[in-house]
Structure 1
Amino acid sequence: MSKPGKKVHDKVIFKEYNQNQLSLPMDLECLIPPNHMVRIVNSAIDQMDLKLLLAKYPGGGRSSYHPVMMTKLLIYAYTDKIFSSRRIEKAARENIMYMWLCGGNSPDFKTINSFRGERMKDALVEIFSEVVELLHKQGYIKLENYFLDGTKIEANANKYSWVWGKSTKRYKEKLQEK
């Protein structure tokens, strides 16, 4: 069975599990690697001039989420391939990177959507291009790897959306005759 001189270990040992025990570090920054994309986006937005965006807030009324935080949230979500405001809301509540970026704030999907659609509407393209430019200057991305293509492809084909090959030939022939 067992070799002489060796102890047989038959006791099951588990790592401690206590959901009510507070653990350190409580600072989320300690959990984020130094060169993680969330830090890069955070740094890029901090270097930008967002006066155009801040000017869209007239003042008065109820307090708003800070536009810099909201901009960081949206830009990071886009780099993380999350575009739905409901998924961005969920990430801000559940994902450590998003929680750190938002400073503990968790805006709801309506707030995210209205910020993107109303406040940031005119400035989004400019801000996004400035972020890409900053990332290029710092060597995080190479612009030759990015392409812009205007191709539109129909996503959901149904019995009314496809076309017979013969009818396209006829259409081309009639077009050439004209």
Structure 2
Amino acid sequence: MSRAVFKSNEQGQVVLFPASLDEKVPQDSPARLVNQIVDNLDIAEIINTYKGGGTSAYHPRMMLKVVLYSYLNNIYSSRKIEQALADRISFMWLSGGQQPDHNTINRFRSSHLKEHIHRIFTQ
């Protein structure tokens, strides 16, 4: 009887050429569609809701991509969106690896997106 052979399972192994997130998101992924659509939207009105000074903010285009993709996936809770940004490759790809917390996501939705969402959807 032959012995079973298993593939190596080294979670801490260093890779010489790590795979980019772009390679991990299929070309037909809905995340790519959301990315393309939001990249072509005029979001000047949302950008104008930001005040100067203070610390830098997450780019509203990235935040809009994450929020719209979350809604597309029936994720509405800011805490679940925050978790998806940490766990799911498509979310990581859309955010460029940035991980806004749930308070930042809620603040974006209420302070910057709320008044302009209808106009965004009519473009």
Which TM-score bucket, shorter chain as reference? over 0.9
Task: Tell me which of 30, 47, 50 is aligned to 1:54.
Answer: 47
Alignment counterpart, residue 19 of structure 1, candidates 1, 11, 17: 11
Aligned-residue sequence identity (percent) comes to 39
Aligned positions of 1:1-178 closer than 5 A? 9-23=1-15, 24-130=17-123
Structure 1: runs of 5+ lacking an equivalent: 1-8, 131-178
Offset of residue 21 of structure 1: 1.0
What is the RMSD of the two structures over their aligned residues, measured on CA atoms? 1.2
Counterpart code for 1:59: G
Letter in 1 for 2:120: I
TM-score by length of structure 1 reads 0.65
Alpha-carbon distance, 1:102 to partner: 0.2
Name the counterpart of 1:167. Answer: none
- Say which one has the larger Rg: 1
**Distance in 2, Cα, partners of 1:79 & 1:25:** 29
Determine helix, strand or coil for the equivalent of 2:49.
coil
Mapped partners of 1:129, 1:101: distance in 2: 22
Structure number with greater CO (CA < 8 Å, separation at least 6) is 2
Task: For residues 33-52 of structure 1, give each alpha carbon's deviation from its aligned partner in whole angstroms, at most 9, with x where no partner exists.
Answer: 11110000000000011100
Structure 1 contact 52–123 (Cα < 8 Å) conserved: yes
Mapped to 1, the partners of 2:24 and 2:122 lie a distance apart of: 29
TM superposition score normalised by structure 2:
0.93
**Hey, what's the Cα distance between the residues in 1 that align with 2:42 and 2:95?**
19
CA shift at 1:11, angstroms?
Answer: 1.1
